[in-house]
Structure 1
Amino acid sequence: MNSVSVNDSSITVSEELVAACRLLAAEDPARESDLALALTRLSNRQSTALNSRKALLAAQEAVHIYQRLADADPDGDVEPLARALNILALRLVEVGRRDKALFVSERAVSMERMRPAGPAEGTPIPGVGSERVGSERVGSERADSERAGSERAASDLADSLDTLALCLRETGREQQSRASAREATEIREGLREHRRREHRTDTV
């Protein structure tokens, strides 16, 4: 099977999933986030197949849904909206809307920077870990979850900074583009070093 057939098949599956999610969301608004995620995946597949306009439309609808959900819950997690904005910025670049892409990308980076970081390695979590065995295990699991969330936020920020670097370069801001790309690289290097330290600790 050639790559064109594979792409067409993937798009068809994604379109069917979007249609199914749309029906579910119409019946139950709590499923809107599922629809937005399906639209994001469809956008990525349309982009891979070089269907730039359709990819943009799917990305725009996903952002619209995530934005509405964020407006309804101001204290909720900004991760889905920030990721969707980053994807939308890429789609805008693909159709040549560079200034709009830069605006959206800057917003995505700003939101990623606002995501709460987990505790630093070895930082105690208040109220957890002072009891014995059972509570210690809960504390360890919670700390692992916090660290994983922090690493995911850092990785997402690096991705958004790479997109910002692209948008800046596309609009002729070479120096700012290099600075953004450099920050993304530094974040990823920091994550790799952190994982190496954790691996060495685990093997001791």
Structure 2
Amino acid sequence: MVVDSYDFWLFDLDGTLVDAEWSYTRDVFDRVGDRLDRPFTDREAEVLWHGLGGARDDQLREWGIEPTEFWPAFHAEEDPQIRAEATYLHEDAADLVRSLETPVGVVTHCQSFLTDPVLQHLDIRDWFDTVVCCTDELGWKPDPMPVRHAVDELGVDAQSTGVLAGDGSSDVGAAWNAGLDSIHVERHDPARRGQCVLGDYRVQTFSDLDE
């Protein structure tokens, strides 16, 4: 089985292990739209929240929105506790992580002021040996540096084989750039994503790995 093939595992967080209720996402984008005087459709909110169009900054520019204006507004409208209470755990991901007997970590674009309350609210922080939040200093997936930082924190030896699982092309790219295998879990209709994300393994749920 794939699960038994690796010495350590890394996971993306949002869209891979957890997701937020749509009502929370819609409310955030309504308030961000008010700040920017530019409303967001349901489709635009979905694309940006889940990164369906690839790199979010590129998507923002395509829509005529400067990322340097969008992200401060977006983070200003995110309430950590409300976000945590609106977040749920994907059961297939929970089953997989609980079954692993190897070092396990998270590498996420979600910032620490949001990540920490989510992990605490879901009571899953102790599932992970390290949690790495991407930053401008550390880099953003598909940059391999956050992944390499997580591997260093896991303390695995240089000959260990590892895999990174995520729901986006940036996760697959980060895995490959860091010399790891990749698992793409497609939690959205590929037609809505508008592109096909390749990976060493492609599954709709982590339960499919057993097959």
Q: What range describes the TM-score normalised by the shorter chain of this pair?
A: under 0.3
Answer 1 or 2: higher relative contact order, Cα 8 Å, separation at least 6: 2
In our comparison, the structure showing a higher alpha carbon Rg is 1
Q: Which has the higher helix share?
A: 1
- Please give the TM-score of this superposition, normalised by the length of structure 1: 0.27
Q: Which has the higher strand share?
A: 2
